[in-house]
Amino acid sequence: MHYGKDAFTNGNGSTIITIDPKFQDVIGQRFEMSPYDAQELNLLYNCTQQKGHFIHASTASGQEGDSAKLETEVVKLNRGCNVQCLQFYYFHSGAESDELNIWIREFEDEQDTTGTPRLMGQITGSPTSHWKLHHVSLNATKPFQVVFEARKGAGSSTGGFSVDDINLSETECPHVFIQIDDLENRLNTSSSGTRIYSPRQYSKDGYAYRVAVILYKTYVGMFVGLLSGEFDNQLQWPCLQRQMIFQLLDQTPNQQLQMSKQRTLISASGSSVWDNPRETGSPVFYENDELVYGGILYGYSRFTTLEELQTREFLKGGSAIFMFNFEDLTPLINGTSLPCPQLRPVSITNPQRILDEGPCSPRNVSSTSQPTETTNDWTASTTHPPSTTDNSTSSTTHPPTTTDYRISSTTITPPPTTTDVSTSSTTHPPTTTDYRISSTTITPPPTTTDVSTSSTTNPPTTTDYRISSTTITPPPTTTDVR
């Protein structure tokens, strides 16, 4: 539906009334396909849906170097560009040296039963207090399977790695995402105008930028701002014909049923926003002993409201996820197609030599047109995670007793106790019904020091999408437009 409920109204009420009241505030091209749209497509193309619990690999026992593998079915590629995005949630409750390695195993043909493994991503470091969204960019060119390998590191552990809501698509991964945990609490307790920045990013063609999420008590703004960077002298200024996609992720487990909120901007001439920030911006922070300059923030002051956040699954376990893409449209404007995305270099903390033996089970080829929703396809046995210890405090962190809808619409019933695949010991599930939330401590995303002022200002009554790098200009009092 192209028009919103109040399109062409004379002020005496809504002009469009949906048959299903749930869609009254959805129409108007602000959301993706509804579950009904996806269901219709599933029936048309005979798609199926699978359900299951999350998987946990314990590192609480065993020897350093012991590992457990979780494997997907083999999938075939359907699109011309060899680019895929693996998206999943993980919870880390083990030791800092424990690793979750993400491999792909490519097969030459039907007779190839071993495949060629490649390490594509790695998660290690401090345990988490919330479930964390993670993306891994893939570039498989042949039929392949994804292998999750949980490897025990040095030191003691009281938990391990848990994985849930796995989706694989033949699309590019988001360029930036910011996960804000306990968002409702932060809206209530933070000063209006509190900013949360992403680290400095680089577009494919070398422009430096960062994304900002700004909290305003009852609504949230989302912005982008150009930064000075390594390649400024080689770039064309101003930075024009770039498409910027702002997105609030609907965290429904099945990607086909998500209705994420999305807004789009395209940089155009006539504004200093897209000029070289070294010339028009101001100092904002230091990074690696370099003074970084930032331009004006540009975006949507009222990107989403608290009321809207409480619909769909925009909040899951109290966390919201804001995503951003920065794309050069120049090839399209010049009459050609966009080039296939290229895989960017991946930083691996502890490079592994090679994945052990071949697949755990015989090959079963499927298609990425039916993305993996949950973890039923894994061939290894699984266990539920025990209560975890947050290393940021000296006490054991216990999950709350509330129901988290990441797994089901009611209280979670843990699966039967099974033998942990990494050791021969048996792990017993905890007595709580929610493994998703174990702390309310928030660590904001930016890794650099922002030297801009921390003071805030009250919202003016004028409309302005621009926010300087030092002074916050909150949202207009009228309806947000593009």
Residue 168 shares a structural domain with residue 179: no
Residues 280 and 375 in one domain: no
Distance of CA 279 to the CA centre of its chain: 33
Please tell me the distance from the alpha carbon of residue 252 to that of residue 167, in angstroms, as a whole number: 11
Considering only CA atoms, give the Rg of the chain.
23
Q: Is 448 exposed, middle or buried (0-12, 13-18, 19+ CB in 10 A)?
A: middle
Look at the chain and report how many structural domains it folds into.
2
Q: Are residue 160 and residue 250 in the same domain, yes or no?
A: no
Residue 45 falls within a domain, yes or no? no
The amino acid that residue 350 corresponds to is N
Q: Which of 202, 147, 140 is nearest to 169 (CA)?
A: 140
d(CA 70, CA 86): 14
CATH code: domain of residue 134? 2.60.120.200
- For residue 106, pLDDT over 50 is answered with yes
Give me the pLDDT at residue 49, please.
Answer: 54
DSSP 11: S
Provide the CA 453 distance to its chain's centre, in angstroms: 29
Q: What is the pLDDT of residue 24?
A: 74
Cα–Cα dist 215/180, whole Å: 11
Output the furthest CA–CA distance in the chain (Å, rounded).
72
324 in the same domain as 289: yes
Residues 308 and 224 in one domain: yes
Q: Mind listing the pLDDT tens digit for each residue in 127-177?
A: 999 999 999 999 999 999 999 999 999 989 999 999 999 999 999 999 999
The predicted model scores a pTM of 0.67
d(CA 59, CA 69): 13
Give me the CATH number covering residue 219.
Answer: 2.60.210.10
Q: What is the mean pLDDT of residues 349-371?
A: 61
Q: Given the DSSP bridges, would you call strands 282-287 and 449-450 parallel, antiparallel or unpaired?
A: antiparallel
Q: Is 248 a domain residue?
A: yes
Residue 132 covered by a domain: yes
Domain co-membership, 167 together with 315 = no
In the block, which residue shows the tokens 């012991």? 66
**Where does 220-344 have alpha helices with state H?**
277-280, 306-309, 330-333
**Average pLDDT of the segment spanning 188-196:** 96
Q: List pLDDT tens digits, range 432-456.
A: 334 333 333 334 444 444 434 333 4
Residue 149 in contact with residue 41, Cβ under 8 Å? no
Write out pLDDT tens, residues 391-436: 333 333 333 333 343 433 333 333 444 334 333 333 343 433 343 3
Q: Is the pLDDT of residue 387 over 80?
A: no
Residue with the two structure tokens 């404007």: 333
Q: Is the pLDDT of residue 308 over 50?
A: yes
Q: Which domain holds residue 365?
A: 55-172+353-397
Calpha distance 476→5 (Å, rounded): 21
Tell me the average pLDDT of the chain: 77
